[in-house]
A = this chain, B = another copy of it.
């Protein structure tokens, strides 16, 4: 069924079409993508552009305002040499090898390079995985700015039901910066991990009988580990608690909050989607699906201090908070700290710290918004890598982005 890849390299990842995924009426069982395995390769080659066909989704409307223009000024970036990237010598080789679905380089608001692979098109909505978290982080800024949300208040102030969970006495700032300490196994490949249980409750994997009924119930079930605020603990549930807080602050559902507070303000070309569970709670930590250019718009606006032209997503102070990161000491002992001794996580964005400081949003299987203020560059990459996390692949992505930014600086 799968025809031979047309490209030169034998290592070229097969596309969804080449694999015959979801082709045929009906598709052969061996080509069928289901909710049971869609996140892993090779199924994700098809699934990441078709999430709404697997998991129910709410629409996050773009609104009725004008589209933020992104003029195109193509540059020959494909042959940019990459430094220290194991799998490729040039940018094009790297994109070729790294299961790229969409890739875009923006400098000073102009598209220098834009590429679609594996059936992706400008209007395709691709799942963002944990890049979704960073959307929530920008969105939250507006409520802090307006005074509706006190970053020093506890979660239980807004969501009393969470009082006796891990989150009850955590502050909003601790949610934002992921310094809530809880019993939570974020191992995406472990079926007994909390993160897989969270997926099941969200409709991202087949349910087990003993699973909590709703994501709200799941979040209430989580237990505290140590004192909050002492160390970074990356935890997908923490973002969903932040989304729950925003629902309570606004009295509205998260998809509406995200639309009104963020998506309708970036001059998006396309509506976004976000997956919802059986009671309509959005998967704020990973379930947003959006188009490539719209992510570039968001990155550009944050890079510009939260606003450009008529578009404004957050205050300059909030954008600076994201850009400047937080205390690197909170990351002590982590793999991230070894790569970036001055790096940190703030307001749901990563900051590399150091001399050529960049900040970025990242999601499993290769989703990135990489922002390099020194080069005035935003790089967006959407991918369907075969594995959720691979340290070497992650490192290569960072190096590739740095090489591109350096070539443009």
Report A's interface with B, CB cutoff 8 A: 22-23, 25-27, 32-34, 50, 52-59, 61-62, 64, 121-123, 125, 159, 214, 216, 244, 247-248, 251, 253, 271, 273, 276, 278-281
Contact = CB atoms under 8 A, between A and B. Distances in A.
Contact of A61 (B57, B62, B123, B279): B123
Contacts of A216: 25-26
A64 B122 contact: yes
A279 B64 contact: no
A129 B130 CA distance: 36
Contacts of A33: 280
A161 to B, nearest CB: 9
Contacts of A271: 123, 271
A35 to B, nearest CB: 8
A27 B58 contact: no
Given A280-B22, A281-B26, A53 B58 contact: yes
B58 A248 contact: no
Contact of A56 (B22, B27, B56, B280): B56
A25 B243 CA distance: 10
Given A26-B214, A26-B281, A52-B59, 6 more contacts: A52-B52, A52-B57, A52-B58, A61-B123, A62-B123, A64-B123
Given A25-B253, A27-B280, A278-B34, A53 B56 contact: yes
